[in-house]
Amino acid sequence: MKTAHDLVALAKSQIKEVSVADAAQAIQASDILLDVREADEYASGHIPGAVHISRGLLEFKLSNSPELAPRDLKIVLYCKTSGRAALAAKALYDMGYLNVESIAGGFDAWASAGNPIAKPQPLEFE
């Protein structure tokens, strides 16, 4: 029986990961940056310009969004530490997407490297 760790390791052996040092360049060259974490994680801070699609809904959202249908889109994705992003990247490859990269170390590595983080402004009521 395989564990989650086994599935992530297998996915990582079949996808392309980009280092945090090269992530900004990969993001700039991409058509879309996807944050596949949960909504509360995204809301607490994310990479600027990232579009949120939770890992659990990824295949469904991509299948139902005409703007995301072209299989030659350049997609960069990330999660907290890179496990969910690896599984997501593998799923995208299986769906026929040709240019998918995952950020090694995920959001935590991005933030630890001192890169910019977007945080939504809290709502103010008066």
Strand pairing class (16-18; 74-78): unpaired
Q: Which of 11, 33, 79, 91 is catalytic?
A: 79
Asked whether the whole model's pTM tops 0.75, one would answer yes
Nearest to 83 by CA among 56, 104, 61: 104
Mean pLDDT of the 82-91 span: 97
Count of residues making up the chain: 126
Q: Are 114 and 38 in contact (CB under 8 A)?
A: no
pLDDT, tens digit, 9 for 90 and up, residues 37-86: 999 999 999 999 999 999 999 999 999 999 999 999 999 999 999 999 99
Strand pairing class (16-18; 32-35): unpaired
Dihedral-angle region of residue 39 (phi above 0 means left; psi in -120 to 50 means alpha; beta otherwise): alpha
Q: Whole-angstrom Cα distance, residue 85 to residue 15?
A: 10
Whether 58 is catalytic: no
Q: Is the predicted pLDDT of residue 103 greater than 80, yes or no?
A: yes
